[in-house]
Amino acid sequence: MKVLWFANTPGNADEHYNAALKGSGGWIKALDQQLQEKVSLHVAFYHNIKEKFVYKKATYYSIAREDGFISRLRARVTGHIKDSQDLEKYLEIIEEVKPDIIHIHGTENSFGCIVSNTNIPVVLSVQGIISGIVNKFFNGFEKKYISYPDRKVQGLKSLLFPWSFKVEYDLYKQLKKSEVKYLKEFRFIMGRTNWDRRITSILSPNSTYFHEDRILRGSFYNAKWSRKNRNKIVLHTTNGNSYFKGFETICEAAMILKELNIDFEWRVAGINPDDLIVKLTKAKLNIDTIIEEVVFLGNIGESNLLESLLDSDIYIMTSHIENNANNLCEAMMLGIPCISSFAGGVGSLIKDGIDGVFFQDGDAMGLAGCILEVSNNNDIADQIGENARATSLIRHDKNRIVQDLVASYQ
């Protein structure tokens, strides 16, 4: 069987461009590596130049980006997105490959225009659901903060047109329009959660839905968390410089723990202290500095992330909207006791009180209470962690996922 992917990332082809990336990467790369043993796999993605090459057992097609500085500047100012401008490039690759099936990864890209321009079966994998993000965008911060500018100068573009979350919001609104337009044309949808299944039943009412779990990064299968003998509670969150990921909830819950004289450290990966979301959080909470117990790890690599996770006592996920949160899945795979906001598709990942603990998104006091409950009951915490790992080993079993995917293709 010949399968053609259109994806936002190059999968294993990243090693073709940079040998140092061998052994690293996300879920697309992990699935690419496993699937190419079962089918004739071809992967199309955007890159700086047009190129075709074979790497390992798959064939890769890079689509040259032609949106230069002016086009990118326009996107920042107006929220304009690429739609069907590159359709001919996509069709050219399809004509060359002549696949049995086309698999598009994500609703947030321009590949959706393919579905109505080919007779080959096209399946869409839902990643995040943009419509859900737009609906929940202001759950953490009021609209009055959205236009705060990011004054970090990282080139002429940021100097002339500083980034703000309004730019991001405008972009998401445009992506939502594209998502709604294309989803209704798809006959086959793949997803992982009850939430994305229900949402796509509305946005793509004539489609058939297939369940598709994700393969995680290899190092998270091999490592296992164990309890540390210490008095300080070490918390870990992998987050981002984003309006809806709940960083303000982290800070509010941390302030509550501090008022209770709890000895703790809350490590936050993915955020730097000079990021815009930190500035907005200080404004929202009317504070001059983030308390010292919140430690910014910034953007760290896989090995450093794994080290921090294994050294933590509890993993916390605070997003206001998620579908299938990879960071939470990786923590559960390690067997760390996990606390998560009940948001989007996360309800399909955790059974509350069994293999994780839920709090309502944005409820800082409830989150602080969850942290105390888990940290004060070692037996319960350990059982939750063990159950989480057992659940994850089944959910993210590589062989089963590939077998199920090939069966869906057929």
Per-residue pLDDT tens for 114-154? Answer: 999 999 999 999 988 999 999 999 999 999 999 888 766 45
Angle at 302 between CA 21 and CA 150, to 5 degrees: 95
- In angstroms, the CA 316 to CA 131 distance is 25
Assess whether 195 and 102 both reside in one domain: yes
Q: Which residues does 407 contact at the CB level (< 8 Å), separation at least 6? A: none
pLDDT at 158 over 80: no
* Beta-ladder partners of 57: none
Q: In what order do the strands lie in the sheet with 264-269?
A: 294-298, 264-269, 233-238, 314-317, 338-342, 357-360
131 vs 68 pLDDT, higher one: 131
Same domain for 263 and 127: no
- Residue 23 shares a structural domain with residue 171: yes
Per-residue confidence (pLDDT) for residue 18, from 0 to 100: 73
In contact, 389 and 356? CB cutoff 8 Å: no
Per-residue confidence (pLDDT) for residue 10, from 0 to 100: 87
Q: First CA to last CA across the chain, in angstroms? A: 9
Q: What would the mean pLDDT of 91-95 be, rounded to a whole number?
A: 97
Do 13 and 123 belong together in one domain? yes
Cα–Cα distance for residue pair 246/316, rounded to 1 Å: 11
Q: Measured in whole angstroms, how far is the alpha carbon of residue 214 from the centre of its chain?
A: 12
In the sheet with 122-125, reading across from the earlier edge strand, the strands are 51-55, 58-64, 40-47, 2-6, 101-105, 122-125, 188-191, 208-211
Judge if 225 and 95 occupy the same domain.
no
Do residue 320 and residue 203 come from a single domain?
Answer: no
Same domain, 202 and 302: no
Strand extents, DSSP E, 151-187 = none
Closest CA to 26 of 216, 202, 212: 216
Question: Average pLDDT, stretch 157-184?
Answer: 84
pLDDT band at 69 (very low <50, low <70, confident <90, very high): low
Q: How far apart are CA 168 and CA 116, in angstroms?
A: 28
Residue-wise over 287-323: b if at least 16 C-beta within 10 A, else e?
A: eeebeebbbbbeeeebeebbebbbebbbbbbbbbbbb
pLDDT confidence of residue 256:
98
Tell me the Ramachandran region of residue 104: left when phi exceeds 0, alpha when psi lies from -120 to 50, beta otherwise. Answer: beta
Number of structural domains in the chain? 2
Q: Are 321 and 139 in contact (CB under 8 A)?
A: yes
- Between 54-58, 78-82, 112-116, 159-163, the lowest mean confidence (pLDDT) is in 78-82
Dist. CA 254–CA 332, nearest whole Å: 22
277 and 176 housed in the same domain: no
Q: How far apart are CA 156 and CA 168, in angstroms?
A: 19
259 and 374 co-located in one domain: yes
| CA distance readout (Å), 27 to 17, 30, 147 | 18, 5, 33
Residue 265 DSSP class: E
Comparing 20 with 400, which gets the higher pLDDT?
400
Task: Tell which wins on pLDDT, 257 or 73.
Answer: 257
pLDDT value at position 151?
Answer: 66
The percent of the chain in helix, strand and coil, each rounded to the nearest 5, is 45, 20, 35
Task: For residues 117 and 264, give the distance between their C-alpha atoms in angstroms, rounded to a whole number.
Answer: 56
**Across all residues in the chain, what is the average pLDDT?**
91
Determine the pLDDT at residue 354.
98
Choose among 251, 316, 258: nearest CA to 280: 251
What was the pLDDT predicted at 207? 97
Assess whether 250 and 192 both reside in one domain: no
352 pLDDT higher than 90 = yes
Same structural domain, 81 and 149: yes
Q: 261: which residues sit within 8 A by CB, 6+ positions away?
A: none
Say what the pLDDT of residue 159 is. 52
Helices 27-35 and 398-409, packing angle to 10 deg? 70
Residues 139 and 76 in one domain: yes
- Over the stretch 266-303, which tens digit does the pLDDT of each residue have? 999 999 999 999 999 999 999 999 999 999 999 999 99
* Predicted local confidence at residue 406, as pLDDT: 96
CA distance 266 to 163: 27
Task: Report the CATH number at residue 51.
Answer: 3.40.50.2000
How large is the average pLDDT for residues 69-83?
A: 57
Average pLDDT over residues 8-13: 86
Give the mean pLDDT of 191-203: 96
d(CA 258, CA 233): 12
Percent of the chain whose pLDDT exceeds 90: 79
Tell me the C-alpha distance between 131 and 2, whole Å. 32
Residue range of the domain that includes 139 = 2-217+398-409
Dist. CA 113–CA 179, nearest whole Å:
10
**What pLDDT score does 160 carry?**
55
